[in-house]
């Protein structure tokens, strides 16, 4: 867990040009705090302490404005910038070294108890207020534009823009 936290702080330092010292990032960045607390909640979830995991998730959302289901799987070196309004659903998977800006939703498009949330590959950047819905896969090194609504899979190195999102050929 500590290795992930160190990598998360390094990611914040790398992707935020206004980032202060690492200790200040660790103590004050809502996205870093939310990820640190999520990793604890996720361990409890896996061990079967689901009520405790949900309680940690609930408290984290109240403190940081970031709502991460304790069952979500999140890789190393992830950076959630600002965080407010970010929602990550139960079956979502976020690969290593991804960046999510505020207001991003990795949401569901069904009420069924199935795999229903997006899967992000490695090194994916999702800009502010983008919404990714359903059990879609976004390939490694892809970029999702601010405000985009993604409802279909995207191969690696995609640039997704618009509502509904489409691949930009630039």
Helix axes 30-46, 50-64, angle to 10 degrees: 170
CATH of the domain at 36: 2.160.10.10
Residues 6+ apart with CB under 8 A from 37: 56, 57, 59, 60, 64
Residue percentage of the chain with pLDDT more than 90: 82
Query: Nearest to residue 165, comparing CAs of 152, 153, 155, 150?
Result: 150
Given phi > 0 = left and psi -120 to 50 = alpha, else beta, which region is 77?
left
Confidence of residue 169 (pLDDT cuts 50, 70, 90): low
Q: What is the mean pLDDT of the chain?
A: 94
Q: Count of domains in the chain?
A: 1
Instruction: Evaluate the CA torsion angle 14, 145, 154, 106 in order and state its sign.
Output: positive
pLDDT of the residue at 5: 81
Calculate the CA 130 to chain-centre distance. 11
The number of beta carbons lying within 10 Å of the beta carbon of residue 47 is: 10
Sequence-ordered alpha helix ranges (H) in the chain: 2-15, 22-28, 30-46, 50-64
Q: What is the DSSP letter of 154?
A: B
Residues 6+ apart with CB under 8 A from 51: none
- Greater pLDDT, 19 or 30: 30
Is the per-residue pLDDT at 4 higher than 80? no
Using DSSP's 3-state secondary structure scheme, residue 53 falls into helix
Whether 136 and 152 have beta carbons less than 8 Å apart is answered as yes
Cut 0.85: pTM above it:
yes
- Greater pLDDT, 168 or 89: 89
pLDDT tens digit sequence for 32-77: 999 999 999 999 999 999 999 999 999 999 999 999 999 999 999 9
Task: Print the domain residue range for 124.
Answer: 2-167
pLDDT tens digit sequence for 111-133: 888 899 999 999 999 999 999 99
């Amino acid at each position: 867990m500590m290795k992930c936290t160190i990598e998360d702080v390094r990611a914040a330092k790398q992707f935020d040009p206004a980032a202060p010292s690492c200790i200040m990032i660790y103590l004050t960045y809502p996205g870093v705090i939310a990820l640190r607390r999520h990793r604890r909640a996720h361990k409890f979830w896996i061990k079967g302490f689901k009520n405790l995991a949900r309680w940690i998730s609930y408290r984290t959302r109240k403190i940081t404005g970031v709502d991460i289901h304790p069952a979500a799987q999140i890789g190393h070196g992830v950076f959630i910038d600002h965080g407010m309004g970010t929602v990550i659903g139960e079956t979502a998977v976020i690969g290593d070294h991804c960046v999510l800006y505020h207001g991003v939703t990795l949401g569901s498009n069904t009420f069924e108890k199935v795999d229903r949330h997006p899967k992000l590959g490695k090194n994916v950047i999702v800009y502010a207020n983008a919404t990714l819905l359903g059990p879609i896969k976004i390939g490694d090194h892809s970029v999702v534009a601010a405000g985009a609504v993604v409802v279909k899979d995207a191969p690696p190195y995609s640039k997704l823009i618009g509502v509904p999102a489409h691949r930009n050929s630039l």
